[in-house]
Structure 1
Amino acid sequence: MTQTEIFQFIQDNTLLSASLWVNIALAGLSILLFVYMGRNVEDPRAQLIFVATLMVPLVSISSYTGLVSGLTVGFLEMPAGHALAGAGAGPEGGVFTPWGRYLTWAFSTPMILIALGLLAGSNLSKLFTAVVADVGMCITGLAAALTTSSYLLRWVWYGISCAFFVVVLYILLAEWAKDAEVAGTADIFNTLKVLTVVLWLGYPIFWALGAEGIAVLDIAITSWAYSGMDIIAKYLFAFLLLRWVVDNERTVADMATGLGAASRGGAAPADD
């Protein structure tokens, strides 16, 4: 199918098309809002959190524009054993596969983790591990979606992707939670941690239930599920984080100088 045909297929499905255009509109509004919110931030660490967070809607608006235009969408013939093998939603057969979503996740979710890691006062080793595992999760998820040679191998890739996800969850729930206590940012970090973990768990669930997995959900319903989770896990997450950083820039600055919660408890940092 040509891009024009794919574009027309998307526009003809009102529910599917709306799930993409709504995200583009909200990403654009988020960019303007976040730039305005960060206009007076001066601390370098706070600025870095802002830049990482601002990249999330910037990546999303680019990616969703690619999806709605048909640039990063394809129709794949599913392997034997798949519920949609030999059938398809496209005018020429094949299953609607918006593989561009994985590009969105591969570039935007590391930015979310970088912002969270900086907020928690994480060291570079943990930050690097989280980001690499996250990228691995997205790339192997893409491999699961694009594998058409074997139904079993699709689920093997899915399992590998989930294994990378477990690493990310461990760092979020165990390592960074402790770091945030030391840094004095535990309250906001725990809120964002719960928001992130709960919503991110939804992605593999809807992958398994959607056309890429066992195909019990329609492509438009699956697209809205992904888009809805993106809206909350990215734009609402970013707003909550940036609002807190603006109101607590001094706390972020103390983290950068190595003071953290110690300065608020009255203890002085040890001399090196």
Structure 2
Amino acid sequence: MIETAATDLLVQSIVPLEVTQTEAFQYIQSDALLSASLWVNIALAGLSILLFVYMGRNVEDPRAQLIFVATLMVPLVSISSYTGLVSGLTVGFLEMPAGHALAGVGTGPDGTVFTPWGRYLTWALSTPMILIALGLLAGSNVTKLFTAVAADIGMCITGLAAALTTSSYALRWVWYVISCAFFAVVLYILLAEWAEDAEIAGTAEIFNTLKILTVVLWLGYPIVWGLGAEGLAVIQSPAVTSWAYSGFDIIAKYLFAFLLLRWVASNEGTVANMASGLGSVSRSGAAPADD
């Protein structure tokens, strides 16, 4: 009996309100603005996949091909994730803790808050692909690439923890701060380390364009979280926050990928002339001699 009670308590902490996938799907479809924010991304992800495959049809250099594969994974992950969101598979309705502006008065069933937690899985799988593509473009070494990807995944997972914590309002913000700390590591590598590497690799012009695009848009995500229903609830409409996230995704993923792949396809020789292997370019701009 004790074990049963403990199990029931655990389930209640994870799923405080039992809402079926069908009910979640109907909730999403009943809000035309919310539904459109998801379906538009599914359509654009599908078109992007077809376009990017076509753009890379003649790319032969292995490093350029790897950039294409990493970038192609972004819309592939997105179309899978947004399908999960729109179907109700990766969304939930959470009761906010005491102290939260929407505690007991949320816009979901029984005063809960609509929480599309599947977005964090999307970001945990797609943003590392963006960083891998950028790192390859900059001619980064393995250490920097691993650090950027690891910090990025940490940022997404702790962001998920912030969204799902219902035991304490303060702890939601503790997770948020931890997530931002991981984000600061990613920003440092993008703005300082890889910018310098790109100068050496001869890809600084396109890298700086993509760097600015990425940094500006990625900064928007924690701002929307802080102002949205999951944070301070200044913006309470799930449709508005969903469109904000979807808008960022459209530009930070599909437009970013198009600009990157168009440049790589047109400058394959520059990519091919980078020293083979990550980290083999020295600060003087020359590849180190073999022992």
TM-score over 0.5 for the pair: yes
TM-score normalised according to structure 1 size: 0.95
- Counterpart in 2 of 1:234? 253
Distance 2:276 2:106 in 1: 57
Q: Quick one: which amino acid aligns to residue 7 of structure 1?
A: F
- How many residue pairs match? The answer is 267
Q: Quick one: which amino acid aligns to residue 31 of structure 1?
A: I
Distance 2:286 2:158 in 1: 46
Query: What does the per-residue CA deviation read over 1:115-149, in whole Å, with 9 as the maximum and x for residues that have no partner?
Result: 00000000000000000000000000000000000
2:266 to 243, 247, 252: 247
Question: 2:93 aligns to what SS in structure 1?
Answer: strand
Unaligned runs of 5+ in 2: 1-18
Question: 1:212 aligns to what SS in structure 2?
Answer: coil
- Displacement, 1:216? 1.2
TM-score normalised according to structure 2 size: 0.89
1:31 to 25, 46, 49: 49
Question: 1:255 aligns to what SS in structure 2?
Answer: coil
1:146 to 156, 164, 182: 164
Q: Quick one: which amino acid aligns to residue 197 of structure 2?
A: D
1:157 corresponds to 2:175: yes
Change (3 A) 1:211 1:269: closer
- Displacement, 1:92? 3.6
Residue correspondence of structure 1 range 188-207 to structure 2 within 5 A = 188-207=206-225
- Displacement, 1:269? 5.2
Q: Quick one: which amino acid aligns to residue 202 of structure 1?
A: G
Whether the 8 Å CA contact 2:46–2:75 is kept in 1: the answer is: yes
CA-atom RMSD in angstroms: 1.6
Query: What does the per-residue CA deviation read over 1:160-181, in whole Å, with 9 as the maximum and x for residues that have no partner?
Result: 0000000000000000000000
- Displacement, 1:219? 1.1
Question: 2:274 aligns to what SS in structure 1?
Answer: helix
- Displacement, 1:242? 0.1
2:203 to 173, 182, 185: 185
- Counterpart in 1 of 2:232? 214
Distance 1:31 1:242 in 2: 12
Whether the 8 Å CA contact 1:45–1:256 is kept in 2: the answer is: no
Q: Quick one: which amino acid aligns to residue 212 of structure 1?
A: E
Query: What does the per-residue CA deviation read over 1:23-81, in whole Å, with 9 as the maximum and x for residues that have no partner?
Result: 00000000000000000100000000000000000000000000000000000000000
Distance 1:255 1:101 in 2: 35
Residue correspondence of structure 1 range 5-84 to structure 2 within 5 A = 5-84=23-102
Distance 1:187 1:220 in 2: 37
Query: What does the per-residue CA deviation read over 1:59-113, in whole Å, with 9 as the maximum and x for residues that have no partner?
Result: 0000000000000000000000000001222234310000000000000000000
Distance 1:126 1:205 in 2: 26
Distance 1:160 1:215 in 2: 20
Q: Quick one: which amino acid aligns to residue 228 of structure 1?
A: G
Residue correspondence of structure 1 range 87-102 to structure 2 within 5 A = 87-102=105-120
Whether the 8 Å CA contact 2:138–2:204 is kept in 1: the answer is: yes
Q: Percent identity?
A: 85
Change (3 A) 1:12 1:269: closer
Distance 1:271 1:4 in 2: 62
